[in-house]
Structure formats: structure tokens, C-alpha cells
Amino acid sequence: MRIFDRRLLSRRRTRAAAGFEAYSFLKQAAAEDIVLRLSAINRQFARVLDLGGHDGRVGQTLHADPETRDRIGEIITTDLSPVWLRPPLGVACDEEALPFADGSFDLVVSALSLHWINDLPGTLIQIRRALKPDGLFIGIALGGRTLNELRTALLAAEDEIRGGAGQHVSPFLDVIDGAGLLQRAGFAMPVSDGDALTVRYAEPLKLLADLKGMGETAAFAQRAGPPLTRAVLFRAMEIYRERFSDPDGRVRATFDFIALSGWAPAPDQPKPKRPGSATTRLADALGVREQNAGEKTGRKRQS
């Protein structure tokens, strides 16, 4: 299924490149999240791939942080739009068709790029193949709660004015599905977790300007309904202010970060035991009395 127009996305990223520094706060937050996760892993990563790297911010943050800089080697940065790339370690490529040989990297990272993939399971399989055995993948993608306020305001305004509504905000990954997708792609020890970042604006039109400056405006392969008119857009901004303003008058915008991580399989990795093979009861390990499923614990509920 082709949801996103990757060529349109590339053109929008190209236009955003010149002024991206002023709109890079989400990318920076995702880069810092990746660094924080890697700081807890005592491992050398001699060869690293940064997918959808834009200005190389993830690599810069990895090399600047004292917890990771001595453990990170060569970083190859890719992007869908070639204007971002700096030779000799920049590669223009589509994340849906990676050009790298199997077993090329010790670590693959991606900050806010995977939510634009049409075939995410297919891309995850390619990432796993590009990793050496026991190589690590960490990706941060925008999740389902992202721009929920904007989506709600647009739907309400369009339904009010037109009597029906189309889709104007991209669909996003759900945190519940993340680990399943990693497992389906063949990763060992898959983990998916989420954390929401709330950004406040003086008025909602500034949010639209930020999305354009990031190159993150919707890029659907097929438009679902007619384009937005000025009347619909300005009514949506009114609804946004009415429903999502704080007491000081500023409006909220939610960006949902979904973190995906997994390891390329290797023979010496820990393996889960077969169900029913345990030799010690959990109650004994915890030093508590085992209770039957129907036995009450004595905890009281206040109402």
C-alpha cells in the first residue's frame, strides 16, 4: 500500500534544508533520546548508519556526548534529499530501498524518518540485514498521538463547513505495534516504548510554520478529499484555540516519540526459555505466599 508520496517528501525536505536550523528542535530531541539510550549500552560501534539523517545532527550529538563519543566510530549519513549530504560519508538513498550489503554496520540509528515509510516491515527487514550479527538498531519515529490537536481541529472545521472531512494529517505508528513489527522483521529482543513531547505556541499558525520549516507537512500519495480552503483553515485555527489553549492563552501541540530498538540475531545472544521449563516458582523467588486465581488479596478499593 502506497500511503506517502516519497518524491513529494523529498522536494519538501529539499526546500526545508536552507532554514532547518531554526526548526530543528524535534530532531535534536530525538537525537538526544538516542544518545541517552546508547549511553547505557557498554559497546563499541565501529561503523554506524544514520538513516534519514538530514544535517547529521544525530552523529554530531553522538560524537559530542562524553558517554558515547569514544565508542562511536565512522558514521555514514543518508537522506532522501541529496541537498543535505556532505561527502565522503553522505549517501542519497531511499529508506525503502537501502543500497548497503548485508552485515555492513554495528549500529543503525534513525531519528524522525521512519514515520514516512510506506512499507515499514520491509524497511525494518533491510535494516536488520544491514547489521552485523548482534548489531543494534535504535529508531525514533513519530507516534499516534502526534498532532492530535491539529487533526481534531481540522476535522471539526471541515465537517462544520463542508459537511464531511478528509485526511490532512499523516497517520502514525502506534507504540503497541512497534515491538511486533520488530519481531516480524527478525530482530531479537525487540522493544517499543513511547513518550510525548508537548510544545506550546502563542498561536496555532506558528505550529503550521514549524511543520513546513521541518519539511514535515503531509505528503499523501492520494489526496483524500478536496484541498483545504482559507475558510476551513481559519475556522480550524479558531477551534484549535478554543479547545487546546492553556490558561495563559498559549496552545498545545503533542509530538509522540515512539522508540524502537532491537538486535540482529547472533548465536551467543540470550534465548527465552521454553514455556513450562522453569524450575523455581516466582512466589519463592519473591518470598511471598502463592495465591489461587480466585483468592482475594485483601486490598480495599476506595470510592
Expressed in angstroms, the distance from the first to the final Cα of the chain is: 49
For residues 83 and 55, is the Cβ–Cβ distance under 8 A?
A: no
pLDDT on residue 25: 96
Q: Which CATH number fits domain 6-146+171-198+254-267: 3.40.50.2000, 3.20.20.80, 3.40.50.150, 3.40.190.10?
A: 3.40.50.150
pLDDT value of residue 128 = 98
User: Residue 75: is it exposed, middle or buried by C-beta count within 10 angstroms (0-12/13-18/19+)?
Assistant: buried
Cα–Cα distance measured from residue 256 to residue 30, given in angstroms and rounded to the nearest whole number:
11
pTM of the shown model? 0.86
Give the whole-angstrom CA distance, residue 291 versus residue 287. 13
pLDDT tens-digit series, residues 90-108: 999 999 999 999 999 999 9
251-263 and 188-201 beta bridge pairing: antiparallel
Per-residue pLDDT in tens (0 to 9) along the chain, 303 residues:
788 999 999 999 999 999 999 999 999 999 999 999 999 999 999 999 999 999 999 999 999 999 999 999 999 999 999 999 887 789 999 999 999 999 999 999 999 999 999 999 999 999 999 999 999 999 999 999 999 999 999 999 999 998 877 777 877 888 888 999 999 999 999 999 999 999 999 999 999 999 999 999 988 888 666 778 899 999 999 999 999 999 999 999 999 999 999 999 998 877 766 656 666 665 565 665 655 544 444 444 333
Query: What are the CA-CA distances from residue 223 to residues 167, 254, 302 (Å)?
Result: 8, 24, 51
What's the pLDDT score for residue 294? 47
